[in-house]
Chain A
Amino acid sequence: DIQMTQSPSSLSASVGDRVTITCQASQDISNYLNWYQQKPGKAPKLLIYDASNLETGVPSRFSGSGSGTDFTFTISSLQPEDIATYYCQQYDNLQVTFGPGTKVDIK
């Protein structure tokens, strides 16, 4: 089974700050990685697919990069509406695993 880790588990940043979250897979997953945003009481929302592709309608301040085992998710300028928990998710070999999540709030 492929295990996913994320760091940090939580962070506080100011409005306008650049925020970076990392996700690591326990084995090579190529670019088979997605990123989701989940706000309290809501279903997750797809932001980035295939490691670096922005889902339609998602603001361009969100981006993703990486391949193999190491991936990065970035918010270029944190906005108040970005307060949420962010999850990475791998989909290699017809299996799915989510990372443990990173909670982002405003300092």
Chain B
Amino acid sequence: QLQLQESGPGLVKPSETLSLTCTVSGGSISSSSYYWGWIRQPPGKGLEWIGSIYYSGSTYYNPSLKSRVTISVDTSKNQFSLKLSSVTAADTAVYYCARLGYSSGWYRFEAFDIWGQGTMVTVSS
């Protein structure tokens, strides 16, 4: 069955760029029925959507993070990636990647139905 796995450094210095990759296995990232998303959760807090990408490269971002976020896709590797620039301690969180259903006929998202296990990223010098 489809699985997602996050990877990347667990520690990032303030003002630097956080980079994570999500590898999709057991299925193709190039499906017209799904976007692929990043969601984060600071310790003890709730979930925050960061953004989502289609296999074609089309992206949608959380307006509150848009100026610092870049999400990209590599269909040849069945991966998508997150870059978050100018990080501070407030960016310390568990970062999840997830599959997001997409209705191309209605141009709307659906639900995050498959999630990675999450990876903890700490911003500290």
Contact = CB atoms under 8 A, between A and B. Distances in A.
Are A and B genuine complex partners? yes
- Interface footprint category on B: 20 to 34
A91 B52 contact: no
A50 B111 CA distance: 8
Nearest to B112: A46
Interface in B42-72: 46-49, 52, 60, 62-64
Contact of B108 (A32, A36, A46, A89): A32
Contacts of A92: 108
Nearest to A91: B109
B110 A91 contact: yes
B90 to A, nearest CB: 17
Main secondary structure of the interface of B (DSSP, over half): strand
Contacts of A89: 47, 111-112
Nearest to A43: B115
A89 B49 CA distance: 10
Contact of A96 (B52, B64, B115): B52
A105 interface: no
B100 to A, nearest CB: 8
Nearest to A56: B113
Contact of A94 (B60, B115, B117): B60
A94 B46 contact: no
Interface of B: 37, 39, 46-49, 52, 60, 62-64, 96, 98, 100-101, 107-113, 115-118
25 contacts: A34-B112, A43-B98, A44-B96, A44-B115, A45-B115, A49-B101, A49-B113, A55-B113, A87-B47, A89-B111, A89-B112, A91-B108, A91-B110, A92-B108, A94-B107, A94-B108, A95-B60, A96-B62, A96-B100, A98-B39, A98-B46, A98-B47, A98-B48, A98-B49, A99-B46
